[in-house]
């Protein structure tokens, strides 16, 4: 088969940077973040070292596909020397661009890395009495109703697992309806972060 990814993705997949090695299990991290669900096949650990609010080093490991590995490898390189305020706002679109693109069906894999990073930064801030200091930026998904990706994520965590349930919880897509495809894809990505194996299998069957 032809390689379906960019040369940058191939490079970071075959030669991932800053991976946590077995010999580094006692890596002295200032912040630790985990996200994902191993039952869905994707789980991420991110460890960061921080000095004066600047990320000086990072280690990570993941159970995931080529996209998850490549996007987290790229992320680990991007954040070195970066202030935590800037690193906190890195999103999947930034990683996708840096990698030269990802297949649409794989963009959700890049969510794992940035969520694990924010969790690690939150851990660092909490240890220093600064919990809640940083807030993740949001992206509008449904412009008619002003529903953001954060609104969808909150609804998901409160039990909305289908587009119909999401509409009941947020009124998303009740205007022009042009957001339904993006909202469904976003829900699919959340399955890999929060969902159970059964929910992910069901959603993939529906999308197929």
What's the pLDDT tens digit per position in 133-190? Answer: 999 888 889 988 889 888 898 889 889 999 999 999 888 888 898 999 989 988 888 8
Cα dist. 49→30, 85, 120 in Å? 5, 15, 10
Which residue did the predictor score with more confidence, 117 or 208?
117
Which residue did the predictor score with more confidence, 20 or 91?
20
Q: Give the percent of the chain with pLDDT over 90.
A: 48
Among 42-56, 136-150, 187-201, top mean pLDDT goes to 42-56
Instruction: Determine the Cα–Cα distance for residues 109 and 15; give it in Å rounded to an integer.
Output: 18
Q: Which residues contact 117 (CB under 8 A, 6 or more apart)?
A: 33, 46, 48, 75, 79, 87, 88, 90
Reduce the DSSP state of residue 143 to 3 states and report it.
Answer: coil
Per-residue model confidence (pLDDT) at position 40: 57
Per-residue model confidence (pLDDT) at position 205: 38
List active site positions: 40, 109
Q: Is the model's pLDDT at 204 over the cut of 50?
A: no
Which residue did the predictor score with more confidence, 112 or 89?
89
Instruction: Determine the Cα–Cα distance for residues 153 and 141; give it in Å rounded to an integer.
Output: 11
With CA atoms as reference, report the closest residue to 70 among 21, 12, 113, 115. Answer: 12
Per-residue model confidence (pLDDT) at position 186: 87
Q: Is the model's pLDDT at 4 over the cut of 80?
A: no
Q: Which residues contact 142 (CB under 8 A, 6 or more apart)?
A: 170, 172, 173, 175, 179, 183
Decide: 120 and 88 in contact? Cβ < 8 Å: no
Residue written as tokens 């991932």? 16
The two three-digit tokens of residue 96, written as one number: 């996708």
Q: Which residues contact 15 (CB under 8 A, 6 or more apart)?
A: none
pLDDT mean over 28-43: 81
Decide: 138 and 150 in contact? Cβ < 8 Å: yes
pLDDT mean over 45-49: 97
pLDDT mean over 52-60: 98
Across 38-55, b (16+ Cβ under 10 Å) vs e yields eebebbbbbbbbbeeeeb
Per-residue model confidence (pLDDT) at position 108: 65
Q: pTM for the complete prediction? A: 0.76
To the nearest whole number, what is the mean pLDDT of the chain?
85
With CA atoms as reference, report the closest residue to 37 among 173, 203, 156, 198. Answer: 198
Q: How confident is the model at residue 17 (pLDDT cuts 50, 70, 90)?
A: very high
> What are the φ/ψ torsions at residue 33 (nearest 5 degrees)?
-135, 140
pLDDT mean over 9-18: 94
């Amino acid at each position: 088969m032809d390689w379906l990814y960019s040369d940058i993705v191939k490079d970071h997949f075959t030669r991932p940077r800053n991976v946590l090695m077995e010999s580094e299990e006692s890596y002295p991290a200032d912040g630790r973040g985990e996200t994902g669900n191993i039952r869905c096949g994707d789980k991420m650990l991110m460890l960061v070292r921080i000095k004066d609010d600047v990320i000086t080093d990072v280690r990570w490991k993941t159970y995931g596909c080529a996209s998850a590995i490549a996007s987290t490898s790229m992320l680990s390189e991007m954040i070195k020397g970066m202030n935590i305020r800037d690193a906190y706002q890195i999103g999947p679109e930034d990683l996708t661009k840096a990698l030269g693109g990802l297949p649409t069906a794989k963009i959700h894999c890049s969510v794992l890395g940035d969520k694990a990073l924010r969790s690690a930064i939150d851990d660092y801030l909490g240890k220093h009495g600064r919990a809640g200091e940083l807030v993740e930026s949001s992206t509008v998904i449904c412009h008619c109703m002003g529903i953001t990706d954060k609104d969808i994520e909150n609804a998901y965590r409160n039990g909305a697992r289908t587009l119909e349930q999401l509409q009941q919880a947020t009124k998303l897509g009740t205007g022009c309806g042009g957001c339904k495809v993006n909202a469904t894809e976003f829900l699919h990505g959340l399955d890999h972060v929060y969902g159970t194996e059964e929910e992910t299998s069901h959603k993939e069957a529906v999308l197929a």
